[in-house]
Structure 1
Amino acid sequence: MGNGTVLLDDLPLSKFHLRVTAYTTGGMFCDGYILGMIGIALAVWAPQRGLAAATEGLIGASALVGIFLGSLIFGTITDRIGRQTMYLADLALFVVGSVLQFFVAEPWQLVALRLIMGVAIGADYAIGAALLSEFLPRKQRGPLLASLNAVWTVGFVVAFVIGYLMRGLGADSWRWMLASSAVPAVIVLCLRLGTPESPRWLAAQGRREESDQVLAEFFGPDVVLGEEPPEPRRARLAELFTPRWRRRTAFTALFWFCQVLPFFALFTFAPTVLSSLGLRDEFTGGLVLNVFQLAGGVLGVVIMNRLARRGFVLWSFVVLAVSLLPLALSAHPSATLVVASFAVFAFAVSAAGNLETVYPAELFPTDLRATGVGFAAAMSRIGAAIGTFLLPLSLVHLGNQATMAIGVAVLLLGAVVSWAWAPETRHLALSESSGGAGLGGGPMPGDPTSAGAPTPVAEA
């Protein structure tokens, strides 16, 4: 790096950074809104149609299956053709799918539409985190990437509130609930127009002149990227499983899987779960839980740079497991215990869920970032789909205690995986991820596999 130049990683936060963050988090708002609305819409429609538990679970899980496909397929595509095109295309699909939900007549039609919309959401998971991480300076990268998940939570909560208010619109209220996601999707699509391509991706493809033009136009003529791959490389999913990357791949996939399986199972069907546990006003109870969820998401953004990533993910699993344990041990929990346990779970899972948009983006290099994030998101959706599909059946056939015990077991698995494999990435510059000490063949700072590596602790 020559005299008078400054790394993109070391820039002060600018209006451009905030705009791209807003446009990207807007997509996550739509993601959360689309996924959050289905639970309360089904609570209205399922009794009208007399839907079986399996059908209800299939509708709830269909978008999650789509997210699996979208994350897995479009993560690699995004690494090959660029972030910018996909950044717009997925929002366009949100708009079309949202409107078509209004005209659904049969359950299979809703399953098909939710599957397609899930593909777009999965693509957005991979695209948004990759694009945003490649623009942000390292000091603000953690909190601003965490804001993706926090705003996802806002969308999820807003969907529940709007759905709650729409219940009085009559027999077709569920149609208006599902179609309402077109409104934020149109707004975000318009805002994203004009967003530039990632200069890191352009440089990684050998298009250095275009990369320099983006840097000069949006950051200034003296801004540089730092080290990038000397030769362009074509992203391949199989590379994630090479010795160099497979442990990182396994960790990101498993920690995300273990976070979302109990979360989606419990919160997609929050009214149903709360009712089965003896809470009479399940809609109000669900609203209270979503308020705790929102508060946790905000706290997660605030503390993201104050805690080591490794310690944050490990201890969050412990807290989550403890929060559900009383419901696994009590055959007839009181309403107070139910609400308290779910409130702690909602708060903690939302705070820790912010790591889902931070950790994977920091663990892979530019030419493999969207592929790595997409694969981790895809694996997590397997967990989410499994939990969402099986929860209604588990409540009917296994009972409340066994269902909660399964959730505790999954969360404890997440704690073990994090203890064994979680590295530390909090102070990593993305320019190091192209093969430097941070993410190359050598161990990362705080990686438990490195000899003598200190255990990360929270900063004062």
Structure 2
Amino acid sequence: MSTNLSVEDVPFNRFHTLLTVRSVGGLFVDGYVLSIIGVALATLSPQLGLDAFWQGTIAASALLGIFVGGFIGGMLTDRLGRRLLYFVGPAMFVIFSVLQFWVTSGTELFALRFITGIAVGIEYPVATAFLVEFLPKKQRGPCLASLNVLWFAGAACAFVVAEALLHFGGENGWRWTLSSTAVFGALLFLIRIGTPESPRWLLSKGRAEEAERIIRRVYGAHFGLANLKENREGKKLRLNDLLHSGYGKRMAFVAIFWTCSVTPVFAVYAFAPRVLDALHLRGDWASWGSIAITLLFVVGCILAMRQVNTLGRRKLLIRSFLWSGLALLLLGWMNNGPSLLILALFGAYALLIGGAQVLQFVYPNEIFPTEIRAGAVGFTASLSRIGAAAGTWLVPLSLQNAGIEATMYIAAAITFTGLLVSWLMAPETKNLTLNEAASLGEEAPLNPARQPVFFERPSPYK
């Protein structure tokens, strides 16, 4: 028995569900890792004698690690395969989180957080490439968008767990807090056991028989390589092809919009208590406000995830940058307002930036081909972390020297930069197969005919 049905058109099955859980679990841990330091810093800084410079440096250390890990993880994932790298990140989470319990200086903590960031950087390209190469076309956008939902869920969990461990853990509470990531890393490692290699990657390496066996195992005995609809002819692409032809433009678009969407978010997460304190939210207002705002980030991502197919990638991205930027602008202008107003504006930002957040893994996985997909995701993730690390490092210095008003205006300016770049460069890919979305040829334009959208502009990729 045979079928001409593409694997991208099959119904969403149990394998897809399990693979989604395995991949989004990595982003949950990533959100936990990158957010836990923001809560622990206030307690550990006096014990380790950290000044504003070292607080910013340690908060940015994991982001610097992501810069390195994204490059390494992307290249190794394309070279060695998705399955092998799938276990590297979780193993590193366990080892280097446990070691943080015994740190005695800011230098040691910086080094361990940096290596943990490398693990996060490795996780981004492998988890997303693995997922997109198996998913049906209709579920591709929402499932990739769910990665960011779980990132913020991990961040929210970090705030809750950290508050509990700092409260009940005594003078070592911050050590238990930083080491708690090991638990989630171990669980992630265990649930990924049994995951098969990506048949698209195997085919790109000329291993057709192995690819066909996995296709039959996942989709059924009547499926084969003919159902994969993957290009097997023509020039083999390398990562440096990103810098040439249309791929250079795509890399620039993804790197810039990703940077503009994560920089204010990471800065807020790393120093949420200090930012809220500067906005005159203290005590219980600050503690519960941090948790509430984090939960609103989750809600915003969930709402955006539901719109990624209906509203479309381009329109969702443009509107997200526009309205979230206005919320930050108002936070700067009304920084002396009542506590409820400040929380409402912060909550509005958290809800409205969701569109840009969920598209961080959708766009790069759709508009680059299999041979360089993981490398492209890792490369653009790394580039985005330069701005995120710089922004995070500068937050305590900006609050100290420029004040909260100027800090919020800077965050708004970064967000509006993302709006401009998205208006000029964002394509629409929601109705395309992976081959069509990644193609540079005229026969498969990235921006097919569609209804006019707010701030509409023809795609530069046509």
The two structures have a TM-score, normalised by structure 2, of 0.93
1:42-441 matches, within 5 Å, as 42-168=41-167, 169-223=169-223, 224-230=227-233, 233=236, 236-281=238-283, 282-330=286-334, 332-433=336-437, 435=439, 439-440=440-441
Q: Residue type matched to 2:331 in 1? A: L
3-state SS of paired residue (1:171): helix
- Which letter does structure 2 place at the counterpart of 1:317? F
For residues 159 and 272 of structure 2, the distance between their equivalents in structure 1, rounded to whole angstroms, comes to 10
Q: Is the 8 A contact 1:309 1:424 kept in 2?
A: yes
Query: 1:153-204, CA deviations, whole angstroms, 9 ceiling, x for partnerless residues?
Result: 1111100111111122211111000111111110110111110010011111
Q: Which residue of 1 aligns with 2:9?
A: 10
| Deviation digits for residues 282-331 of structure 1 (CA, Å, limit 9, x no counterpart) | 21221121121121122222222111100111110001111011222235
More divergent stretch after superposition (131-140 vs 329-338): 329-338
Q: After superposing the two structures, state which structure 1 stretch, 175-184 or 424-433, moved more.
A: 424-433
Shift of 1:333: 2.9
1:27 and 1:434 map into 2 onto residues whose CA distance is 25
CA–CA distance in structure 1, aligned partners of residues 313 and 184 of structure 2? 32
Q: Which residue of structure 2 aligns with residue 29 of structure 1?
A: 28
Work out the CA distance in 2 between the residues paired with 1:201 and 1:367: 7
CA distance in 2, matches of 1:242, 1:95: 39
Contact 1:316 1:352 in 2 (8 A): yes
Runs of 4+ in 1 over 4 A off after TM superposition: none
Conserved 8 A contact 1:425-1:444: no
Is the Cα contact below 8 Å between 2:436 and 2:446 reproduced in 1?
no
Unaligned runs of 5+ in 1: none
Q: Cα distance, 1:375 vs. partner? A: 1.2
State the 1:80 CA deviation. 1.2
Aligned partner letter, 1:85? L
Query: Would the aligned equivalents of 2:317 and 2:355 in 1 still touch at CA under 8 Å?
Result: no
Task: Give deviations 1:357-408, integer Å, cap 9, x for gaps.
Answer: 2111011011111111111111111121011100000000111111111111
- CA shift, 1:342, in A, is 0.9
- The letter of the residue matching 1:180 is S
Alpha-carbon distance change, 344 to 27 in structure 1, aligned in 2, over 3 angstroms: same
Measured in 2, the distance between the counterparts of 1:217 and 1:3 equals 15
Shift of residue 148, structure 1, vs aligned partner: 0.9
CA distance, structure 2, for counterparts of residue 199 and residue 327 of structure 1: 48
What's 2:445 paired with? 444
Deviation at residue 443 of structure 1 after TM alignment: 6.7
8 Å Cα contact 1:325-1:405 kept in structure 2: yes
State the one-letter code of the partner of 2:57. L
Distance 1:181 1:137 in 2: 32
Is the Cα–Cα contact under 8 Å of residues 279 and 335 in structure 2 kept in the other structure?
no
**For residue 457 of structure 2, what is the aligned residue in structure 1?**
none
Q: Report if the CA contact (8 A) 2:305-2:358 is conserved.
A: yes
> How far apart are residue 220 of structure 1 and its match?
1.3
The question of whether the paired residues in 1 share the 8 Å contact of 2:16 and 2:135 is answered with yes
2:25 alignment partner AA: G
SS of the aligned residue for 1:427 comes to coil
Q: TM-score, normalised by structure 1?
A: 0.94
User: SS of 2:310's equivalent?
Assistant: coil
| 8 Å CA contact retained: 2:437, 2:445 | no
Cα-to-partner distance string for 1:423-442 (whole Å, 9 max, x where unaligned):
1111111133564xxx4466
Deviation at 1:49, TM superposition (A): 3.6
**1:306 is paired with a residue of what secondary structure?**
coil
Q: Contact 1:75/1:372 (CA < 8 Å) preserved in 2?
A: yes
Mapped contact 1:434–1:440 kept (Cα < 8 A): no
Amino acid at match of 2:133: E
Q: Tell me, yes or no, if the aligned pair for 2:52 and 2:396 is still in contact at 8 Å.
A: yes
CA separation of 1:383 and 1:116: change in aligned 2, threshold 3 A? same
Residues 295, 331 of structure 1: CA spacing in aligned structure 2 closer, same or farther, 3 A cutoff?
closer
Identity %: 42
Structure 1: how far apart are the matches of 2:48 and 2:127? 37
Could you tell me how far 1:270 is from its partner in structure 2? 0.5
Number of aligned positions between the proteins: 449
SS at match of 1:311: helix
Between 125-134 and 337-346, the greater mean CA deviation after superposition:
337-346
- Residue 452 (structure 2) aligns with: 455
